[in-house]
Amino acid sequence: MQKTYYDPKDLKKFGKITEWSEELGEKFFEYYGKVFEEGSLTAREKSLIALAVAHTVQCPYCIDAYTKDGLQRGIEKEEMMEALHVAAAIRGGASLVHGVQMMNKVEKLSM
């Protein structure tokens, strides 16, 4: 039995999800491909967004995939790390901004 939840080899099998639900799988991959095409944003910018989101959703497959994608696009490690800090700032900010809710509640309940 597999002893870990994640196996790097599974990333290559991603396409197999279509086998159990053909129509939805195909629609998803068509959409996915379209999303990453050059548009108002460059493919390079989209790759950095993907990398930041990959860290936010903590997906090891996506982190591997978009780190390699970034290197191949000539994205530098400093740019990658800056993108991660954007993700971290939003994540941290999302916790802290709820502090206002906490403060409101404390003030409401306190005499």
72 makes contact with another protein (CB under 8 A): yes
Cβ contact 36:43 at 8 Å: yes
76 makes contact with another protein (CB under 8 A): yes
Measure the CA–CA gap between 31 and 38, rounded to whole angstroms.
Answer: 14
Part in contact with another protein (CB under 8 A); list of ranges 22-30, 55-63, 69-77, 92-100? 69-77
Cβ contact 25:17 at 8 Å: yes
Binding to another protein (CB under 8 A) within 4-43 occurs at: none
Helix axes 77-97, 43-56, angle to 10 degrees: 50
Helix axes 99-109, 77-97, angle to 10 degrees: 10
Q: Which is nearer to another protein, 43 or 94 (CB)?
A: 43
68 makes contact with another protein (CB under 8 A): yes
Q: Which is nearer to another protein, 68 or 105 (CB)?
A: 68
74 makes contact with another protein (CB under 8 A): yes
List contacts with another protein (CB under 8 A): 68, 71-74, 76
